[in-house]
Amino acid sequence: MEKSKFMKINCHDYSHEDVVKVSSVFKKGGLVIFPTETVYGIGADAGSDAACKRIFQVKSRKQDNPLIVHVDSIDTMKKFALTEEIELLPELEKLWPGPLTVVMRKKDNICNAASAGLDTVGMRIPACDFIREVIHSSGIPIAAPSANISGRPSATRIEHIISELGQKVDLIIDSGETIYGIESTVILPEGRKCTILRPGAYTEEDLLKIFDVVEYSVPGGKVLSPGTKYTHYSPEKRLYRAERSILIKYLEEHRGKVLPIITFETHEITGGDAIILGHENDPMEISHNLYHSLRLLDSSEYEYGIIESFPHRGYFTSIMNRIEKASIEI
């Protein structure tokens, strides 16, 4: 396969030429790795079965796991999904552009590969102005999962991509570190109620400003979001998790073998080698650094890791969803 081409862009300050360049790759059915405010995506024309099938192949993604379709506006969304069925769409619009994916019934112009044969599609308006401009000017909605091999932590920096997918796509757009560092919240709205299929960068509290009732899809119950049933976000090395006091004790007994991934405050107590997630009262800093920290563990000399766990509150609920999938409780 031809070597991937690189370009650097600033999401909010870019040239028309760059927009045209990227649009032309999508128009030819190419695969493009691009930045969003959550994590990097690996995208293709959501109307093209052939292009979307390549995404599944390159990521080793299970065929029954649908892709999120990224559009630039509600007007564009209306062309590809039955938005009129979403009662609170005008209110949801206030959360876009942003880290929210709304599952709705799709129209026929979204290809079967993108929707994994379902009659629904997850729609999202990402915050990167450059990508929205590409979608707007090309008229192409972009089907894109996270830019990682399935099961691995999502990519939040370009260096994560080079090693995993570097040679397998047509274009890689580098825009530095992503902001949130964890993926969008996926919801299924039904009237004034919504179900969170995957917790994410927007919290239950954010959604309660719009919906009367917000529920989580029941763990172990019917799988509403196909992706949530697979192993996810895991480093290659074994990773344990524990809250601060247990983690400190564990470290005392296993020092030298285990690399802790902990908050600044916990490190003030433990000292020694560690990967610092951020400050305990700054969940944004912690989510921003989370996947990079998991990858640092893999590239370290240590045999295995232990990560600090947090109370399930506010945005920490979403962070804990990812930490729990990546680790084993002790």
Q: Give me the least distance between CB of 147 and Mg ion, in Å please.
A: 9
Select from 186, 239, 262, 323 the one that contacts ligand TXA (CB under 6 A).
186
Please report how close the Cβ of residue 71 comes to ligand TXA at its closest, in angstroms. Answer: 11
Contact window for ligand TXA (CB under 6 A) among 65-73, 237-245, 293-301, 315-323: 65-73
Total interface residues for Mg ion by CB under 5 A: 1
What part of residues 134-153 is at the interface with Mg ion (CB under 5 A)?
146
Least distance to Mg ion from the beta carbon of 102, Å? 17
Q: Tell me how far, at minimum, the Cβ of 152 lies from Mg ion, in Å.
A: 9
226 binds ligand TXA (CB under 6 A): yes
122 binding partner (options ligand TXA, Mg ion, none; Cβ < 5 to 8 Å by kind): ligand TXA
Cβ atoms of 260 and 149 closer than 8 Å: no
Does position 41 interact with ligand TXA (CB under 6 A)? The reply is yes
Residue selected from 48, 138, 146, 266 as contacting ligand TXA according to rule CB under 6 A: 146
Judged by CB under 6 A, does residue 97 bind ligand TXA? no
Binding site for ligand TXA (CB under 6 A): 36, 38-39, 41, 65-68, 99, 101, 103, 118, 120-122, 124, 144-146, 183-184, 186, 197-198, 225-228
